[in-house]
Amino acid sequence: MEDKFSDLRINAERFQQDFEAISHIGSSGDGGVDRPAFSDAHLAARTWFRQRIEDAGLTFRLDGAGNHSGFLKCSAENAPTLLLGSHLDSVPKGGRFDGALGVLAALEVLRVIHEAGLHLPTNLEAIDFSDEEGRLVGLMGSNAVAGSLSEKDLAKPAGGRSALLDGLLRAGLNEAGILSAKRDPSTLAGFLELHIEQGPRLEQESLDIGVVTTMTGICLYNLKFTGRADHSGTTPMHQRLDASLGASNFVLSASTMVTEKFLNCTVNVGSIELMPGASNIVPQCASLILELRAPELDTLNRLESTLLELANHKAGYHKLKLEAEFIEKHPPNTMDIGVQGVIRNAASSLGLSHINLYSGAFHDAEVIARICPAGMIFVPSQGGASHSPREFTPWKDCMNGANVLLNATLRLATSQIN
Ligand code: GLV
Ligand code: MN
Ligand code: MN
């Protein structure tokens, strides 16, 4: 890389001030943030980001899916755009690093390059994708950009139809707008996302940077076990059709099965609802959300059919009816080999140790990889904690990640793929 580029570094003080400012928006008071998509806190974070973009003299852009971005145009006409970014929404009561770190690092990269007056042959765009965490529609912003959403997906969104309509109204968006956010792949030079690892490996091995190779496949179902409501005190135990038994037996057996038979895969039941839901009624229905993840498509398919069979078996065992409603499925995706090489070279040139990593978490980069070369840079997560206020990454590691993002951006923007 040319010398005038290799000396460029993130402005540490400004980056940290921004990170502290965004961490206060929706702060849950225990080190975490509560910023689900289009909540008041999320809308406030988006407004703050817009202001920072405008303060930096970058062009603010908003697309129909609510993605916010800062744009730095290059002097060449019809140049492609290199996207950098992540998301400002969080899971309910989540951590302050997941997503926000990558958005602020992207903004900082654009500011540093803008201030240095570099003339790159590529436009740069720092983007905050809407609803990455899938409160309304799984990875709504990046899926819209990739053209992976249809009217059908919006008619039956993961978070329910009324939550979607309410969220869109709050953000001043509409369904037609979401579909219009699709980008022409030929306008994109690539995508880079900096993110915390959300797992323990980098910390355990005392490594600075993870270069993401593959990202997990994921599949979601609603399972509903139905039995019969009865009086809890007068119905003999052996005469009950208790829906909670089918659900809990399934949850325990699914966990054991995946632990023992599906290496590198996960199953999670993050929500269970019992109905009618009173202490003195035998539960008639148990509805749960089943999430499964696997690193290869074949394994994901096998895991899906095995777990559905297990749910059927448990329903039959407890004399319950089972309804399995498919919600969504995303196949695993590989990060671009050339971009992986760029990230490795960027880390090495900064004297940082690195390793290839598989990501068990889902990210916008997985979706954007469908339309252009994409890559991800991971930095260590203390104790591997994430989706929790315990999420923490030492500032030195955040700075390392942001400088790798800057260095990799310069390499990609000037087409130094290797
Ligand atoms: C995104 O955070 C995921 O659920 O993996
Ligand atoms: Mn997350
Ligand atoms: Mn994230």
Q: Reply yes or no on whether the pLDDT at 109 is more than 80.
A: yes
Atom of ligand 1 nearest to the CA of 386: 2
How would residue 153 be classed by pLDDT, with cut points 50, 70 and 90? confident
What secondary structure does DSSP assign to 31-48, as a single string? SEE---TTSHHHHHHHHH
Give the Cα separation of 367 and 363 in Å (integer): 7
* Token pair in block for residue 410: 């310069």
Query: What is the pLDDT, as a whole number, of residue 157?
Result: 87
How would residue 158 be classed by pLDDT, with cut points 50, 70 and 90? confident
Give the Cα separation of 10 and 198 in Å (integer): 23
Q: Residues enclosing ligand 1, CB less than 6 A?
A: 133, 361-362
> Do the beta carbons of residue 83 and residue 72 sit within 8 Å?
no
Ramachandran sector of residue 38 (left: φ over 0; alpha: ψ -120 to 50; beta: rest): left
Closest ligand, as measured to the CA of 99: 3
Residue with the smallest CA separation from ligand 1 atom 1 is: 362
> In terms of Cα–Cα distance, which of 219, 385, 230 is closest to 295?
219
Q: Reply yes or no on whether the pLDDT at 70 is more than 50.
A: yes
Distance 238 CA to ligand 1 centre (A): 41
Query: What is the pLDDT, as a whole number, of residue 328?
Result: 85
Query: What is the pLDDT, as a whole number, of residue 1?
Result: 57
Pocket perturbation via mutation, ligand 1, pick of 133, 268, 293 by most ligand atoms within 8 A of CB: 133
Peptide bond into 276 cis (omega under 30): yes
> Do the beta carbons of residue 197 and residue 378 sit within 8 Å?
yes
Query: What is the pLDDT, as a whole number, of residue 5?
Result: 67
Give the Cα separation of 88 and 133 in Å (integer): 10
Q: Which residues contact 51 (CB under 8 A, 6 or more apart)?
A: none
What are 124-146's pLDDT values in tens digits? Answer: 999 999 999 988 988 999 999 99
Distance set, CA 247 to CA 152, 298, 348, 360 (Å) = 29, 26, 50, 25
Q: Which residue has the tokens 């755009």?
A: 81
What are 184-222's pLDDT values in tens digits? Answer: 999 999 999 999 999 999 999 999 999 999 999 999 999
Q: With the CA atoms of 310, 314, 317 and 321 taken in that order, what torsion angle do they form, in degrees rounded to the nearest 10?
A: -110
Atom of ligand 1 nearest to the CA of 99: 2
Count of alpha carbons within 13 angstroms of residue 378, beta-carbon side: 29
Distance 388 CA to ligand 2 centre (A): 10
Q: Which residues, listed in sequence order, are joined to residue 291 by a DSSP beta bridge? A: 220, 268
How would residue 106 be classed by pLDDT, with cut points 50, 70 and 90? very high
Q: Which residue has the tokens 């400002």?
A: 88
* Token pair in block for residue 250: 């399934």
Distance 218 CA to ligand 1 centre (A): 10
What are 353-383's pLDDT values in tens digits? Answer: 999 999 999 999 999 999 999 999 999 999 9
First-to-final CA distance of the chain: 10
Give the Cα separation of 377 and 197 in Å (integer): 9
What are 283-292's pLDDT values in tens digits? Answer: 999 999 999 9
Closest ligand, as measured to the CA of 195: 3
Distance 268 CA to ligand 1 centre (A): 12
Atom of ligand 1 nearest to the CA of 363: 1
Q: Give the number of residues written for the chain.
A: 418
Distance 142 CA to ligand 1 centre (A): 13
Distance 250 CA to ligand 3 centre (A): 29
Atom of ligand 1 nearest to the CA of 218: 5
Give the Cα separation of 94 and 2 in Å (integer): 41
How far is residue 285 CA from its own chain's centroid?
A: 31
Pocket perturbation via mutation, ligand 1, pick of 86, 96, 387 by most ligand atoms within 8 A of CB: 387
What are 232-244's pLDDT values in tens digits? Answer: 999 999 999 999 9
> Do the beta carbons of residue 5 and residue 410 sit within 8 Å?
yes
Query: What is the pLDDT, as a whole number, of residue 4?
Result: 58
What are 289-330's pLDDT values in tens digits? Answer: 999 999 999 999 999 999 999 999 999 999 999 999 998 898
Q: Which residues of 330-355 are buried (b: 16+ CB within 10 A; e: fewer)?
A: bbbbebbeebbbbbbbbbeebebebe
Pocket perturbation via mutation, ligand 1, pick of 131, 137, 328, 362 by most ligand atoms within 8 A of CB: 362
Atom of ligand 1 nearest to the CA of 360: 5
Q: Reply yes or no on whether the pLDDT at 21 is more than 80.
A: yes
How would residue 418 be classed by pLDDT, with cut points 50, 70 and 90? very low
Closest ligand, as measured to the CA of 129: 3
Mean pLDDT score across all residues of the chain: 95
The larger pLDDT score, comparing residue 415 to residue 110, is at: 110
> Do the beta carbons of residue 410 and residue 1 sit within 8 Å?
yes
Give the Cα separation of 191 and 84 in Å (integer): 6
Distance 364 CA to ligand 1 centre (A): 10
Give the Cα separation of 283 and 286 in Å (integer): 7
SS3 385: coil
Q: Which residues, listed in sequence order, are joined to residue 128 by a DSSP beta bridge? A: 68, 86
Distance 59 CA to ligand 3 centre (A): 25
Atom of ligand 1 nearest to the CA of 98: 2
Closest ligand, as measured to the CA of 134: 1
